[in-house]
């Protein structure tokens, strides 16, 4: 295990947005988004080859090129190689990013694939090292291969000093629990499964605290449902239309938040950080305005009594 301070400002910069997640973002707007985060004190930046077929890594690297390297942390991911591909349209329908599909993602958890992925990411980022390397979504293709091939390779790279910390990032808390059981993880990136709306990964979060494994919480707005003061029928959850019962639950939580002078998004940001193992939160942002809004939310003071009242109302089971 390695010691790495992940507290790098109000939140970590999630790089999917500047990889054209769901919509096109111009180069200038992507740069302005990173600059706004830097000006707000953000010093942790997360990206992945998956995000825009390398676009996020290229844009992030360009935006950080003139910053002192020892003043920020960067994480990226392995498990998907980018190889020459179809080139007959865009990636939006199949991959979720509004970019030309001149390359395609190829699953490769092998030792050579992991090393190649990391080398190519460094090239796109223009860096000589990343601070954290995650195995990305191994449950989507083969959890066994990911945990028996890719994760040990990442641990070797850490032990050789190529990266400072390693772990796994996934929507599946079961997959992350299995990864933690290998004893190789310094950190896990947990998406959307320990939020104000629901805490199915509560046992994993507690186990990580006991084992000294850090948790970076992402998806804390549940893909948008908790990102508005009052979600309505147009709200999204897990990148799809939110079920009516979840919209109703979010509004019930918002009722209690308002009684304490807190907005739903402010409480959503504050909740995961209460857990001992949650070392940081990463937020996907796609504009400078989103950065500034989230910085304000992160600074809000949330009274402890809010959590007590949510528990009494049966709306929180942490």
Q: To 10 degrees, the CA torsion angle through 231, 232, 233, 234? A: -70
Q: Indicate the angle between helix axes 27-39 and 55-64, nearest 10 degrees.
A: 50
CB 74 within 8 A of CB 45: yes
Q: Which of 51, 134, 194, 221 is catalytic?
A: 51
3-state secondary structure of 205: helix
3-state secondary structure of 47: coil
Question: Exposure string (b/e) for 153-181, b if CB count within 10 Å is 16 or more?
Answer: bbbebbeeebbbbbbbbbbbbebbebbbe
Which phi and psi (to 5°) does residue 37 adopt?
-65, -45
CB 52 within 8 A of CB 105: no
CB 275 within 8 A of CB 205: yes
Paired with 74 in beta bridges are: 45
Query: Residue 19 has what DSSP assignment?
Result: G
CB 316 within 8 A of CB 307: yes
Question: 51 catalytic, yes or no?
Answer: yes
Pairing of strands 73-78, 80-84: unpaired
- For 109-180, strand residue ranges (E) read 132-136, 165-170
What residues are annotated to the active site? 51
């Amino acid at each position: 295990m390695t010691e790495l301070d992940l507290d790098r400002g109000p939140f970590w910069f999630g790089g999917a947005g500047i990889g054209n997640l769901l919509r096109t973002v111009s180069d200038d707007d992507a740069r302005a988004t990173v600059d706004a985060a830097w000006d707000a004190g953000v010093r942790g930046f997360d990206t992945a080859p998956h995000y825009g077929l390398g676009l996020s890594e290229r844009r992030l690297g360009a935006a950080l090129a003139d910053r002192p390297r020892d003043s920020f942390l960067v994480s990226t991911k392995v498990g998907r190689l980018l190889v020459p591909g179809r080139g007959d349209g865009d990636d939006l329908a199949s991959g979720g990013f509004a970019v030309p599909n001149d390359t395609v993602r190829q699953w490769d958890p092998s030792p050579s694939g992991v090393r190649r992925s990391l080398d190519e990411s460094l090239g796109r980022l223009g860096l000589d090292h990343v601070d954290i390397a995650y195995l990305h979504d191994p449950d989507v293709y083969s959890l066994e291969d990911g945990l028996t091939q890719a994760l040990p390779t990442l641990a070797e790279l850490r032990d050789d000093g190529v990266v400072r910390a390693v772990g796994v990032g996934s929507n599946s808390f079961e997959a992350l629990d299995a990864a933690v059981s290998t004893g190789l993880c310094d950190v896990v990136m947990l998406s959307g499964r320990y939020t104000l709306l629901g805490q199915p990964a509560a046992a994993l979060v507690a186990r990580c605290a006991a084992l000294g494994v850090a948790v970076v919480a992402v998806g804390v707005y549940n893909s948008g449902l908790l990102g508005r003061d009052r979600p309505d029928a147009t709200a999204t959850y897990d990148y799809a239309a939110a079920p009516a019962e979840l919209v109703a639950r979010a509004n019930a939580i918002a009722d209690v938040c308002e009684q304490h002078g807190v907005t739903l998004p402010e409480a959503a940001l504050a909740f995961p950080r209460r857990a001992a193992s949650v070392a940081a939160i990463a937020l996907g942002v796609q504009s400078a305005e989103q950065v500034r809004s989230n910085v304000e939310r992160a600074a809000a003071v949330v009274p402890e009594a809010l959590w007590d009242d949510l528990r009494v109302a049966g709306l929180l089971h942490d």
